[in-house]
Structure 1
Amino acid sequence: MKNAKNTAAELAVETTILSSGNPFRDLGLSNPEERLFKSNLALEVRRLIKERDLTQQEIAEILGIDQPKVSRLLRGQLSGFSVEKLFLMLNKLGRKVEVRISEEGYAPQDADLTVSVG
């Protein structure tokens, strides 16, 4: 005989939530476009760091920051890292950073920030 008590998994109802494509917007956080832009920059910095297979101390010396900051960056803790600082880190890791401002007629709410790698 089946136990009358159902587990949480048995009671769970499958729910599908459509994403806007920006998890920061989906979570209702302030400045979602800026957060996504900064996050994408940090992901590229992280990828380049991992690609080099160096210690955090060696990376800290290359980037001109201390090792605990490298650790925070690798864990995605981005407070204290400005977009400008991430641009400089990309430069120090051998990447050229270009900022392009388009004249396309976007309404302010439709304008966006993007990161392109390649």
Structure 2
Amino acid sequence: MTEKITRGSGNVFADLGFENPEEMETKAKLVSQINAIIKKRKLTQKQAGVILGITQSRVSDLARGGLSGFSVDRLLRLLNKLDREVEIVVKPKSSRRPATTRVVFADPISV
């Protein structure tokens, strides 16, 4: 039996055929960072909710990687509430590929 291996695009959401894959990848990275900050600070979901101005159940959604109901803008504001500066940089694309949107963390929190 021969297996066929297909190289991924670098965006799992695009590879799986999701609509708006760049936005979904951006949201996933932002949610991952929010969760890492909450975990590093050893906050309960209730404590995180108070800081973020959202309910504990919405913090639970974030903890499970839930992306629906959270716009990119809202996730950026949640990072601000966690004392993170958010800087958006727009620059000319550097290759022949189409221009893309990506999230880069200057000082990523890993847990």
TM-score (norm. length: structure 1): 0.81
Question: Any stretches of 5+ residues in structure 2 without a counterpart?
Answer: 107-111
Superposed displacement of residue 17, structure 1: 3.0
Asked which structure has the greater CA Rg, the reply is 1
Question: Any stretches of 5+ residues in structure 1 without a counterpart?
Answer: 1-11
Superposed displacement of residue 101, structure 1: 1.3
**Aligned match for 2:52, one of 50, 63, 67:** 63
Identity %: 43
Superposed displacement of residue 14, structure 1: 4.8
- Residues 4-31 of structure 1 show CA distances to partners (whole Å, capped at 9, x for unaligned) of xxxxxxxx87553321110001001111
Output the CA distance in 2 between the equivalents of 1:54 and 1:104. Answer: 39
Output the CA distance in 1 between the equivalents of 2:74 and 2:7. Answer: 33
| Count of residue pairs brought into register by the alignment | 106
- 1:110 is paired with a residue whose SS is coil
Superposed displacement of residue 106, structure 1: 7.0
Q: Does 1:115 align with 2:99?
A: no
Output the CA distance in 2 between the equivalents of 1:15 and 1:67. Answer: 44
Q: Does 1:103 align with 2:89?
A: no
8 Å CA contact retained: 2:80, 2:86? yes
Q: Does 1:38 align with 2:27?
A: yes
**Aligned match for 1:20, one of 2, 9, 20:** 9
- 1:42 is paired with a residue whose SS is helix
Q: How much is the aligned-residue C-alpha RMSD, in angstroms? A: 2.0
Q: Does 1:82 align with 2:74?
A: no
Bigger relative contact order, structure 1 or 2 (CA pairs below 8 A, ≥6 apart): 2
